[in-house]
Amino acid sequence: MSNEGEVFVKHTLTSPGCPVGPLIQSSMHQAVRSLPGVAKVRLELTFDPPWDPRTRVSDEVKLKLGLL
């Protein structure tokens, strides 16, 4: 958290065309804003580095997705 209760969140989605991207961002904003002491939330969407399930997902999830 930075000064004055401002929180900055840099995040990504699984793809640029993620159909639930706006819902994820709205939910993230609401969840962070509801935390004690948070007065302002800034979200930054990035795709650098690109999200990749082979490097960004635990082995347990890979197994469930059939990636192992």
Enter the pTM of the model.
Answer: 0.69
- Which domains can be identified in the chain, with CATH numbers? 3-65 (3.30.300.130)
What integer is the mean pLDDT of 3-26? 91
Tokens 């991207």 label which residue? 21
As a whole number, the mean pLDDT across the chain is: 89
Alpha carbon of residue 34 to chain centroid: 16
**Are 18 and 24 a contacting pair, CB within 8 Å?**
yes
| Residue 8 CB contacts under 8 Å (≥ 6 apart), including other chains | 2, 42, 44
The per-residue pLDDT for 2 is 46
Region of poorest pLDDT, from 17-21, 24-28, 41-45, 55-59: 55-59
The per-residue pLDDT for 51 is 80
